[in-house]
Structure 1
Amino acid sequence: MNNLNKELHLTNRPVDMPTLEDFRIVEKSISELKENEVLVKTLYLSVDPYMRGRMSDAKSYIEPFQLNEKISGGAVGEVIESNSDNFKQGDIVAGMLGWSEYNVVNGHALNKINPELAPVTTSLGILGMPGLTAYFGLLDIGQPKEGETVVISGAAGAVGSIVGQIAKIKGAYVVGIAGSDDKTDYLMNELNFDKAINYKTTPNMKEALQEACPNGVDVYFENVGGEISDAVFTMLNKFARICVCGAISTYNLPSNEDIGPRIQRTLIKSSVLMKGFVVNDYAERWSEGIKQIAQWLNEGKLTYEETITEGFENIPDAFLGLFKGSNLGKQLVKIAEPTYAKL
C-alpha cells in the first residue's frame, strides 16, 4: 500500500458562502500504528450543514475546524491494519474520521458495523445522526398528536424527510416545504406527505401555508430559518411547539444580516414552546432511537433516499451543494471500494 495519504484541509474561514478556494488537498505520510490503534480506509464520508458553523471560529456547541488541518465528520471505513483486540482486518466501522483516504484511529473511537443487517451507508443517515436528530427532535420536543398539523422546512433533506414520515406514523397531518417540484413530488408521492410547497416557485408563502394548513400549525420542525419560518410563525396554534434543528438559510450570512420579525409576542399570546437542540443532547438515549427507527424501517414504515457523489476530490462540491439544495435525502461522498470486505 502506498504510504501517502490524501487529506482535505480548510485553508480559510469563509465569511459568507464557502468556495472551492477555501479547501486544499494535501498529501501526508500515514503514521505507524500505536497500541490500540487501527488503520481505517475511508469508504463513505458524510457532509452536513452543521459543518459550516465549524468553519467559523465563533463560539458554538462544538469546536471549530483548525486551519490547515484536515476536516472531520461522520464516516464509514474498512479496517486495513489493527493493533486493537476489538477489530480485525476487513471489519467495517463508523466514527468521526478525518476527511482523508486513510485514518489512524484509536479503536475506542470506532463502532463496528454489520453490513448484513443494513447497507453501511445507513449508519450515516437514517440509522445515524440524521435519523436520531429527526426522532428525538420531533418526538421529545414536538410531541405530535394524532390529527395535529406538522410543518417541516427542508423537508426533502436527510433530517426533514424522516421527520415527516415519523409524524405520519403518529397520525399527524404533514406539510413539507422544499425547493423544487421534484422534491415536492417525492414528498407527496413517495413519502405520503399530505401537502408539499415549493418555496422557490411560491409567490406568497403565507397564502400557500394558509391553503395547505387550514387548521393552523401545531408543530413546526425548523431546518431553514429566514422568510420561510417568518411565514410559518403567523400560523401557529395555541400551545404549538417549534423544534429548532437548523437554520441553513442563515449559515452563510454575517450575523448582523439575519434580521426578521420579533416573535416574542407570538410565543406569549399562543403559549408556544420554541426549543433549539442538537442530537448530542440525547446521546444517552441513542440506542433507544436506533432500535425504534430500525424497527420502523424493517416494517416498511420508513424509507430513505441518498445522494452519493463519487471521488475524494469532489467532497467540497458535495458540501457546497447542500446550500444550493442539490441533494435529495442524505448527502454522502463515496471515496473507495473496500479492499477485504464484501458489501
Structure 2
Amino acid sequence: MSNLNNRQWLFVKRPIGPVDESCFRRVEVGMPEIGVGQIILQNLYFSFDASMRTWMNEGPNYLEPVVLGQPMRSVTLAKIIKSRHPDFPVGEIVMGMNSWEDYSVSSGEGFCQLLPNIPDIPLSYFLGALGPTGYTAYFGMIDIGRPKTGEAVLVSGAAGAVGSIAGQIAKLYGCFVVGLAGSKEKCEWLVDECGYDLAINYKECDDLDGKLAGVFPNGIDIFFDNVGGATLDSALANIGNNARIISCGAISGYDAGENPSVPIKNHWMLLIREAKMQGFLVSSYMHRAVEAAEYLGTHISNGDIIFREHIEEGFDSAPSVLKMLYAGKNTGKLILKL
C-alpha cells in the first residue's frame, strides 16, 4: 500500500460568496500504513450536498469547519481494501464521511457504516435515496412533520434530492403536496413523475405570499424547508393552526458570506397559529438507519418513490462538480463516480 499514489483535493481558500475551483488544489501523497483497529478505504463515489458550503465557513456549525490546507470532505461510498478491524472485513462497502482522496484511513468510528443488504438497488443509491439524502427526507417528514391524511404540505427545494423524496413520502400518507422549484422542467417532473399535486416555479412568481394564500386557503399544515430566507417568510405568512415547519436547510443563505441574511418578518405567525418550527440533523437519527433504509427500499422497489440521480465522472472533476451543485445545474442527486 505504501507505494500507491493517493490523489487529494486540498481546501486552500475559504470562499466569500459562491465557491469555485480556486478554493482547492490537487496534490498526490503516499499511502500510510494502518495500525490495529484501522481500515483502508478505496473511495468509489463522492456525494455532493448543499450543506458542504457551510463546512467551508469559519464559525459554529454542526460539523467542525474544514481546515485550510487539509483535504476537502464529503460523504462517500468506499470499498475496504485492507483491514485490521474485526468488524470491517476486506471487500465490504461502507458509507462514511471521508476526504476528497482516492484512499482514506478509518478506525470505523463515527459515521462509518457497512451497507445494509437490500437486493436489486444500484450502489450509488446508498448516497442518495437509501443514504443520508433519503434518511433526511424520511426522518424530517415522519418524525417532525408527522403527516396525516388530508393535510396540506409545502416543500421548498422540492426538485432537489431531499425535497423530492420528502414530498413523495407525504403523498404516501395521503397529503395534498405542493412543491417549489426553479424551472418549468423541474415543476413538470415533480407533478408528472413524483406525483406532487402542484408545483410552483418560484422564479416566475412575483408574489409568493399571495400565490401560497390561493393554493392553501386553509393554511399550510407541514412545511419542509430546504431554502430558508424569503421563501421561509412567505410560508410562515400562510401556515395553518398547529403547523409543523421542518427546518432542513437554508441554501438561500449559504453564499451570503459576511452579508446579513434576509430578515424574517413573519415569525410571529408561529405564535398566533400555535405552530412549531424545528431544525434537525440526520446524524442524530443514524441509529435508526435500518428503519429508514427498509421503508425507502420497499417503496423504491415498488415504484412508489421515484428518485433521480445526476452522476458525473472523474476524480479531477470534484471542484467543478461542487460548483455545479450551487449553480443548480444538476438534475437529481449529484454524485461523482471516481
1:27 aligns with 28
1:305 matched to 2:308: yes
What CA distance in whole angstroms lies between the structure 1 residues aligned with 2:163 and 2:254? 18
What CA distance in whole angstroms lies between the structure 1 residues aligned with 2:44 and 2:67? 24
1:290 matched to 2:310: no
What CA distance in whole angstroms lies between the structure 1 residues aligned with 2:283 and 2:39? 25
Structure 2 unmatched ranges of 5 or more: none
What CA distance in whole angstroms lies between the structure 2 residues aligned with 1:116 and 1:273? 39
Residues 223 and 245, structure 2, Cα contact 8 Å, conserved in 1:
yes
Structure 2 letter corresponding to 1:310: E
2:67 aligns with 66
2:202 aligns with 199
What CA distance in whole angstroms lies between the structure 1 residues aligned with 2:36 and 2:325? 38
1:182 aligns with 185
1:102 aligns with 103
Moved more, 289-298 or 10-19: 289-298
What CA distance in whole angstroms lies between the structure 1 residues aligned with 2:156 and 2:294? 26
Residues 10 and 68, structure 1, Cα contact 8 Å, conserved in 2:
yes
CA RMSD of aligned residues (A): 1.9
Structure 1 unmatched ranges of 5 or more: 336-343
Q: 2:113 aligns with which of 99, 111, 114?
A: 111
Q: 1:141 to 1:43 in 2, by over 3 A?
A: same
1:127 aligns with 130
TM-score (norm 2): 0.93
1:51 matched to 2:52: yes
Residues 179 and 200, structure 2, Cα contact 8 Å, conserved in 1:
yes
Residues 10 and 65, structure 1, Cα contact 8 Å, conserved in 2:
yes
TM-score (norm 1): 0.92
The Cα offsets for residues 94-123 of structure 1, whole Å up to 9 and x where unpaired, read as 221111011122245643335845211121
Residues 167 and 179, structure 2, Cα contact 8 Å, conserved in 1:
yes
Q: 1:237 aligns with which of 234, 237, 240?
A: 240
Residues 242 and 275, structure 1, Cα contact 8 Å, conserved in 2:
yes
Q: CA deviation at 1:255?
A: 5.0
Secondary structure at the aligned position of 1:159 is classed as helix
Structure 1 letter corresponding to 2:235: V
Q: CA deviation at 1:42?
A: 1.4
1:75 aligns with 76
Moved more, 58-67 or 321-330: 321-330
What CA distance in whole angstroms lies between the structure 2 residues aligned with 1:316 and 1:117? 31
Q: CA deviation at 1:49?
A: 1.1
Residues 10 and 66, structure 1, Cα contact 8 Å, conserved in 2:
yes
2:15 aligns with 14
Moved more, 150-159 or 309-318: 309-318
What CA distance in whole angstroms lies between the structure 2 residues aligned with 1:115 and 1:141? 26
What CA distance in whole angstroms lies between the structure 1 residues aligned with 2:329 and 2:312? 11
1:138 matched to 2:129: no
What CA distance in whole angstroms lies between the structure 1 residues aligned with 2:231 and 2:265? 14
1:164 matched to 2:167: yes
Secondary structure at the aligned position of 1:16 is classed as coil
Residues 157 and 180, structure 2, Cα contact 8 Å, conserved in 1:
yes
Residues 181 and 200, structure 2, Cα contact 8 Å, conserved in 1:
yes
Q: CA deviation at 1:58?
A: 0.4
The Cα offsets for residues 189-217 of structure 1, whole Å up to 9 and x where unpaired, read as 00010000111222222233234334321
Q: 2:328 aligns with which of 301, 325, 328?
A: 325
Residues 132 and 290, structure 1, Cα contact 8 Å, conserved in 2:
yes
Aligned length: 335
What CA distance in whole angstroms lies between the structure 2 residues aligned with 1:7 and 1:219? 42
1:340 aligns with none
Residues 297 and 303, structure 1, Cα contact 8 Å, conserved in 2:
yes
Moved more, 276-285 or 181-190: 276-285
1:272 matched to 2:272: no
Residues 30 and 104, structure 1, Cα contact 8 Å, conserved in 2:
no
What CA distance in whole angstroms lies between the structure 2 residues aligned with 1:260 and 1:108? 40
Structure 2 letter corresponding to 1:289: A
Moved more, 213-222 or 17-26: 213-222
1:208 aligns with 211
Residues 56 and 65, structure 2, Cα contact 8 Å, conserved in 1:
yes
